[in-house]
Amino acid sequence: MILRNSTEDCIVPKPEKKEMHILHPEDISAYLKEADRRGVLAMFFLELTTGLRKGELVTLLWSGLDEQSMTLNVCKQAAGVKGGGVKVTRPKTETSIRKISLSQETIDVLKREHEKHPELEIMFPSPKTLGMYYPDSVTAIHNKILKSAGLPHIRLHDLRHTFATLALQNGVDVKTVSSILGHFDAGFTLRTYTHVTTKMQEEAAAAMGKLIGASV
């Protein structure tokens, strides 16, 4: 058998370029201080440390938080429906139903939040209704935080990108980030955050070059 060698076989398709914005690390403190001033620190602190979807964020219950194991169950999502109102459903994919680990800092912030309304089951109740926030209401709060803090406008969903980008840049492996985000596979995470992982590969190549080069 003769194997034909062709350069065409080795052409790697270029990933689709998608413009992505994040809340820059130097702006996080100002963002969280303004969130705290508005009484919503816990919700947005959790968002920045887990990258939850807004529809997941508003459905969280205290019963899903395990302080001892430092984990949080994510098993529901909410979405606005035509004509008004919100519908709470089970996520469409099994990977979106997950148990995520939380940092001690996140647990501490959530415990302080729970002390404000220990009688309520919902984790982040609307101060107006004491019920679940509409997902779009969280977006409105996010926009007000940015404006009051004098920060550039980014989408609420960009806080999810912020979590993933910073996690990858700080050495969290792609598979772990993918499972926290509830992506259906790590390949989707890789494609979404190519701008981060490409830089990581370059740094890895440089590090290995120095390591092996020192032996020559």
Residue listed under structure tokens 């008004």 = 84
Say if residues 23 and 134 touch (Cβ distance below 8 Å).
Answer: no
pLDDT band at 18 (very low <50, low <70, confident <90, very high): low
Length reported for the chain: 216
CA-to-CA distance for 62 and 138, rounded, in angstroms? Answer: 19
Q: In the sheet where 71-74 sits, what is the strand order?
A: 65-66, 71-74, 98-101
* pLDDT tens readout for residues 39-89: 999 999 999 999 999 999 999 999 999 999 999 999 999 988 887 788 899
| Mean pLDDT, range 104-128, rounded to an integer | 96
Say if residues 27 and 151 touch (Cβ distance below 8 Å).
Answer: yes
Say if residues 111 and 67 touch (Cβ distance below 8 Å).
Answer: yes
Q: Which of 25-34, 44-53, 64-73, 197-206 has the lowest mean pLDDT?
A: 197-206
Say if residues 157 and 20 touch (Cβ distance below 8 Å).
Answer: no
pLDDT score at 65 = 98
Say if residues 72 and 65 touch (Cβ distance below 8 Å).
Answer: yes
pLDDT band at 199 (very low <50, low <70, confident <90, very high): confident
Q: Which domains does the chain have, with CATH numbers?
A: 17-213 (1.10.443.10)
Residue listed under structure tokens 């806080």 = 159
| Mean pLDDT, range 12-36, rounded to an integer | 83
| Mean pLDDT, range 22-50, rounded to an integer | 97
* pLDDT tens readout for residues 131-188: 999 999 999 999 999 999 999 999 999 999 999 999 999 989 999 999 999 998 898 8
CA-to-CA distance for 33 and 37, rounded, in angstroms? Answer: 6
